[in-house]
Amino acid sequence: MNSYNPDTRPGSHRLADSVGSAEFFHSDTHDVFEQAEALPKWQQDYLQISAGAFTGSLTALSLGPVQIFRESMNKVVDQHGQPWENSFAVGVPLSIEGEGFWCGDRLEKNSIFFLKPNSELKFKTPEHSDICVAVIDSRILKEYAETIEELSIDHIIDLNGATPLSEALCNRFRHTFLHVITALKANPDVLSSHRIRLSLLDDVMSSFFNGFTQLEKLPRKHPGQFVHRHIVEKAREYIISRKSEPLSVIEICEALRVSRRTLHYGFIKVLGINPVTFLRYLRLNGARRELMKADPSSKVVNEIASRWGFWHPGMFSTYYKELFGELPSHTLRLKK
């Protein structure tokens, strides 16, 4: 296990003392909830919003104040998440197919994306996504920048969202990520050596700062999806608070005091699906989560379906199989 524990005391951020241990693992998943729970040190909620059987993978390194991971998924997922306190995240797509939005900004193939400290990630993934992300304790990052690299990176740590950049710069970040992940997959036992861990941390920090120096003048961005995402989030909260009620679009519009057109456009803009489809998908994901925790010997499919507002068992099974690629009885039997 990685024993790094953020310490808020002054003068406690000596980088060389932060790599007492390290953890590296790879996991293949077949469920969106397994994918969300696989990443350590993050609080995450994943909602599958495109149809078909889900497959994903996660490869992750925890090295003192640094976490590096590669995540691949084959479905559109509406992600909400947050890493540990005071951490800064930066990442790059390896490959994407379809439209995705990171914190309201369109995710391009050649772009770098950021999550500033203590902010919530809201990520609508493309249909197929393969991304690499580094998460770093922001206090140690700033101290390293000032004492080792003699740079001020306050403007970088405050970045949030995705920014299109040159292919050459994106490839530099990709090379850093893949160089580390590929080497450790081939020989994870090297992490047992403290000197190797310290050398790896040095290489990682140096490589990222070489990339950071190219981010001095980022192109000016437009506001992105803030208003539309706000509408979607308010609608999501309202729907979850009334999960057993098959709400209508009219009820949501009245509760949020927005027009049907505004609600529809917000969902299409942010998630690529209309509000009616989102209503159904959110309730189906909620039912699936309960089925995965239920006793396989019990007959609770209809009960769980009813709790999530599905009054017709046959239609529930049809909708469920359409979204997840299997019947609810199969989930109950095999996912426990």
pLDDT tens-place string over residues 112-146? 999 999 999 999 999 999 999 999 999 988 888 88
Comma-separated ranges of CATH 2.60.120.10 domains in the chain: 15-215
**Whole-number Å distance between alpha carbons of 96 and 115:** 19
Mean pLDDT of the chain, nearest integer: 87
What pLDDT is attached to residue 5? 55
159, HSE (Cβ side, Cα atoms, 13 Å): 23
What fold, for 226-334?
Arc Repressor Mutant, subunit A (1.10.10)
Tens digits of residue pLDDT in 24-34: 999 999 999 99
- The model's pTM is 0.85
Tens digits of residue pLDDT in 32-56: 999 999 999 999 999 999 999 999 9
* Buried/exposed code over 2-38 (b: 16+ C-beta within 10 A; e: otherwise): bebebeeeeeebebeebbeebbbeeeebebbbbbbeb
CATH of 15-215, one of 3.40.50.620, 3.40.50.11740, 3.40.30.10, 2.60.120.10: 2.60.120.10
Tens digits of residue pLDDT in 264-315: 988 998 888 998 899 899 989 999 999 988 888 777 888 898 888 887 888 8
Q: Is the pLDDT of residue 15 over 90?
A: no
Q: Is 263 within 8 Å of 252 (Cβ atoms)?
A: yes
Comma-separated ranges of CATH 1.10.10.60 domains in the chain: 226-334
Tens digits of residue pLDDT in 211-245: 887 776 555 555 556 788 888 888 888 888 887 67
**Whole-number Å distance between alpha carbons of 46 and 135:** 19
Per-residue pLDDT band for 184 (boundaries 50, 70, 90) equals: very high
Which residue matches tokens 């296990």? 1
Per-residue pLDDT band for 10 (boundaries 50, 70, 90) equals: very low
Tens digits of residue pLDDT in 154-167: 888 999 999 999 99
**Whole-number Å distance between alpha carbons of 229 and 256:** 13
**Whole-number Å distance between alpha carbons of 59 and 69:** 5
Mean predicted confidence (pLDDT) in 87-102: 96
Per-residue pLDDT band for 8 (boundaries 50, 70, 90) equals: very low
Q: Is 68 within 8 Å of 177 (Cβ atoms)?
A: yes
What pLDDT is attached to residue 70? 98
Find, among 146, 167, 171, 166, the residue nearest to 217 by Cα. Answer: 166
Q: At what angle do helices 226-241 and 249-256 cross, to 10 degrees?
A: 120
**Whole-number Å distance between alpha carbons of 94 and 109:** 8
Largest CA distance in the chain: 65
What pLDDT is attached to residue 16? 65
Find, among 25, 57, 135, the residue nearest to 91 by Cα. Answer: 135
Find, among 37, 184, 255, 253, the residue nearest to 264 by Cα. Answer: 253
Find, among 211, 215, 218, 187, the residue nearest to 200 by Cα. Answer: 187
Exposed, middle or buried: residue 324 (CB in 10 Å: 0-12, 13-18, 19+)? Answer: buried
Enter the tokens of residue 244. Answer: 């057993």
